[in-house]
Structure 1
Amino acid sequence: MNQNLFSENPVEITTLSNGFTVATEATPNVATASLGVWVGSGSRNEQASEHGLSHLIEHMAFKGTTSRSARQVAEDIENVGGEINAATGVEYTSYAARLLGEDISVALDVIGDLLTKSVFDKQELAREKSVILQEYAAVEDTPDDLIYDVFQETAFSGQPIGRPILGRPETINSFDETAIRRFLDREYIPANMALVATGPIQHAQIVEQAERLFGHLPVHEIQPSEDGIYKGGEKRLPRDLEQANIVFGLPGLSFKHKDYYALHLFAHILGGGLTSRLWHEVRETRGLAYVIDAFHWPFSDCGIFGIGAGTSQKDLAELLDVALECAWLATENISEEEMARAKRQMKVGMLTALESPGGRIERIARQLLTWKRLIPVSEVVRKVDALTAGEVCQAGRTAISGNRTLVSIGPIDDLPALAQLATKP
């Protein structure tokens, strides 16, 4: 790839005395600024009794602070034309906004309020629990969403990393202000937080405001999450539906693993686009599914590889057989044409994300929280370009030789048991 196609702006980084990280990327030729605070804590950091608490806290942050009502939180951002949102993941929670560069102090002040001055009013808490329970019900009623929650829960059974982010009704209903503040005191700590901003901004001004908003937070040691251990297994949810949804899984790799990029490339070749092996054989040649893909979800200490599809009950067995055969064949031989195409696909995916301000600040925040340094795009590109077909095949062989996961939802009477699936073509 021509390295001149993507130029990285310098990123200034300052760590406050309490460990809170501030990073800025000045882009003076744009009008808008994006900023956010990332917390290196998500659903996998919850104890069993806290299942779903990270997500509830993210919702409750917008329900009023000691200086702003819930309405004022929204008005202060939207009065200057901005937008604000938050998201909860397995390993991170984020609070981010985008608005005119001249108003960045407004967004930073609001986010500072949300993270340090939320009041967690009882009535607002009751209302938000109801909203989340509706969100939970919506997922339960959407098989092609639900199946991926079930998939991860089955693959990492009995572990925090396997629990669905939304939680369960019984835990959601149990949360109170005491539980919320206990979690915040343990997880929302300066050493585990990063403020990142990009746009027509001044680093010194952002640092000064961050010091005022977050510099008072007490120093605490980061509490490590429980190790994620892929186990595999089987889960079936028979339902009266038109289509059966299935996900077949294998052990994946951490994004810190030396073979991470090789396995990611294997997923692209197997099921990453309209020219992938699974799409060509399952969808185009045999007509066994409308959509089929392969994916690799990496985490900080483990990962999971999967193949997902929806099909009719009568085609379930054949689809699985064909998909497994495609996977095995891909571990034996990958052409240079496939390698070149998959490498290009990976680069385009990465660079597309980095062409949006939100994508850039998220990348910076995650790298600082995980690696304590920024990883240049050129370093990633070099690693991808250096991969050989043999290394990618070997990564696929290692995955497909591991424990298997099979989850299914819908009319699944004809689905063979996990133990009956062929271990080799």
Structure 2
Amino acid sequence: MSSIRVTTLPNGLRVATDTMPDVQSVSLGCWVGVGTRNEAASVNGVAHLVEHMLFKGTRRRSAFRISEEIENVGGQLNAYTTREQTAYYAKVLHEDAPLALDILSDMIQHSTLDAEELVRERTVVLQEIGQSADTPDDIIFDHFQSTAYPGQAIGRPVLGSAEIVGALPREALVDYIGGHYGAPGMVLSAAGRIEHDRMVDLAFKAFGDLPSGAPPKPESASYTGGDFREDRDLEQMHLVLGFDGVGVHDPDFYAHSVLSTLLGGGMSSRLFQEVREKRGLVYSIYTFTGGYHDGGLFGVYAGTGEDEVAELVPVVCDEIAKVGADVTEDEVARARAQLKAGTLMALESTMSRCEQLGQQILIYDRPVPVEEIVAKIDGVDRDAVVKAASRLRASRPTVAALGPIAKLESYDRIAERLA
């Protein structure tokens, strides 16, 4: 019998629980199906600023009281914003779940968005933007995203720009919440020592007055690809080389995950072995995938010294080109095992199960049984990986480089190597 149950409240809020009777804690949170790609260009960064401001006081609680109440019971409270989701979550001992739910519902529905607090928090976010800009292995991914999706909401940075965020008025936050925080676009998820019917009763009392309007659909994503380079006085050049990937609904989604794992997902991966272990060209190199509702990205990150750039790029391109031709069944099996182990090990964490449940319902409109995920991973064979590699190389590459770039090959030469 499944430990997962889902109930939809009259206003459209979905309440999902994953009962784990042998633990002492509960992780619970509200997953909202909107993020950076739901913003207008003129208010880029508002979703992230809203996330910050919901911690700054409600009609019943000051900002300090929010922190004090959750920490009085030894709990944890946090949030994050991505391009398609915003999440507010807590972890507490099971007997304190009602308190955590009350705090979360109070923040989401009754934040005052105090003008003085907004002035201070805008400054905090501006510091965060500045810190990101000063962290090359962080900001390079914003450059990569904007180059892959130029002029589009999905290509804009989650934090926004200092110019826009520094001038965002309170009304922009109020309008964003009013237009995007409706019950049908939200999931209340909980995992741990929790009873479903009890959680539904608490949720009805706490969130029953949420508006029932659904958020507007974001603009469609259209991958373009291209070249970004910034010469900066750094010890290392930071490079992201990527391609048009696949979305979360694409039948090749798991094949691309297996390909990413065997190409650059661990110490036995091709890129780690060839680029770091055999040639010593980098300290860090890895691959990544990012899936959205209507598209995705596949990329390779590497950080290398100025003198190693000229050798690094041809080697990386060669490994990407070769993987579709000579990948072995043993490599595919090892990558599948890594993905399955990560999926199954996550079941031991209440927070992982809570987050996974909330995200699955937002994305697929249902919980996805772990047996189904494992079966899809097991269904990826060598032919599927070869197909995935071929599909990547058919797209126009995206190159983003930051640091001492003088010895980096031209975009056209890199594209030629990958053709």
Q: Same fold (TM over 0.5)?
A: yes
Per-residue Cα deviation, 1:138-180 (whole angstroms, up to 9, x for no partner): 1111111111111111111111111111000111012122111
Q: Which runs of 4+ in 1 moved over 6 A?
A: none
What residue in structure 1 maps to residue 103 of structure 2?
A: 110
Q: 1:63 is paired with a residue of what secondary structure?
A: coil
The answer on 1:43 being equivalent to 2:36 is yes
Query: Structure 1: where are the runs of 5+ without partners?
Result: 1-7
Distance 1:167 1:424, change over 3 A: closer
The answer on 1:270 being equivalent to 2:257 is no
Per-residue Cα deviation, 1:199-225 (whole angstroms, up to 9, x for no partner): 222222211221122111222133111
Shift of 1:424: 4.6
- Number of residues of Structure 1 aligned to a counterpart in Structure 2: 418
1:239 corresponds, among 232, 235, 259, to 232
Are the counterparts in 2 of residues 53 and 175 from structure 1 also a CA contact under 8 Å? yes
What residue in structure 2 maps to residue 91 of structure 1?
A: 84
Q: 2:242 is paired with a residue of what secondary structure?
A: strand
Are the counterparts in 1 of residues 18 and 353 from structure 2 also a CA contact under 8 Å? no
> In 2, distance between residues paired with 1:336 and 1:350?
21
> In 1, distance between residues paired with 2:378 and 2:18?
27
Name the aligned partner's letter for residue 126 of structure 1: V
Are the counterparts in 1 of residues 182 and 215 from structure 2 also a CA contact under 8 Å? yes
Are the counterparts in 2 of residues 11 and 25 from structure 1 also a CA contact under 8 Å? yes
Are the counterparts in 2 of residues 9 and 27 from structure 1 also a CA contact under 8 Å? no
Shift of 1:241: 0.9
Shift of 1:12: 1.6
Name the aligned partner's letter for residue 423 of structure 1: R
What residue in structure 2 maps to residue 128 of structure 1?
A: 121
Q: 1:225 is paired with a residue of what secondary structure?
A: coil
Are the counterparts in 1 of residues 248 and 293 from structure 2 also a CA contact under 8 Å? yes
Moved more, 347-356 or 385-394: 347-356
TM-score, normalised to structure 1, is 0.96
1:166 corresponds, among 156, 159, 170, to 159
> In 1, distance between residues paired with 2:214 and 2:158?
24
Per-residue Cα deviation, 1:334-393 (whole angstroms, up to 9, x for no partner): 111101100011112222333211110111111111111111111111111122101111
Shift of 1:90: 1.1
Shift of 1:118: 0.1
Are the counterparts in 1 of residues 314 and 417 from structure 2 also a CA contact under 8 Å? no
Name the aligned partner's letter for residue 159 of structure 2: L
Q: 1:328 is paired with a residue of what secondary structure?
A: helix
Identity %: 42
TM-score, normalised to structure 2, is 0.97
2:196 corresponds, among 181, 203, 211, to 203
The answer on 1:279 being equivalent to 2:272 is yes
2:65 corresponds, among 57, 69, 72, to 72
Name the aligned partner's letter for residue 111 of structure 1: L
What residue in structure 2 maps to residue 180 of structure 1?
A: 173
> In 2, distance between residues paired with 1:216 and 1:274?
51
What residue in structure 2 maps to residue 423 of structure 1?
A: 417
Name the aligned partner's letter for residue 249 of structure 2: K
What residue in structure 1 maps to residue 341 of structure 2?
A: 348
> In 2, distance between residues paired with 1:424 and 1:170?
38
What residue in structure 2 maps to residue 373 of structure 1?
A: 366
Structural RMSD (CA) = 1.2
> In 1, distance between residues paired with 2:334 and 2:90?
35
What residue in structure 2 maps to residue 5 of structure 1?
A: none
> In 1, distance between residues paired with 2:301 and 2:211?
45
Per-residue Cα deviation, 1:304-350 (whole angstroms, up to 9, x for no partner): 01111011112212211111111111011211110110001111222
> In 2, distance between residues paired with 1:223 and 1:260?
26
What residue in structure 2 maps to residue 20 of structure 1?
A: 13
Q: 1:249 is paired with a residue of what secondary structure?
A: strand
Q: 1:87 is paired with a residue of what secondary structure?
A: strand
Q: 1:293 is paired with a residue of what secondary structure?
A: strand
What residue in structure 1 maps to residue 393 of structure 2?
A: 400
The answer on 1:60 being equivalent to 2:53 is yes
> In 1, distance between residues paired with 2:409 and 2:133?
24
> In 1, distance between residues paired with 2:418 and 2:409?
16
Shift of 1:230: 1.1
Moved more, 288-297 or 115-124: 288-297
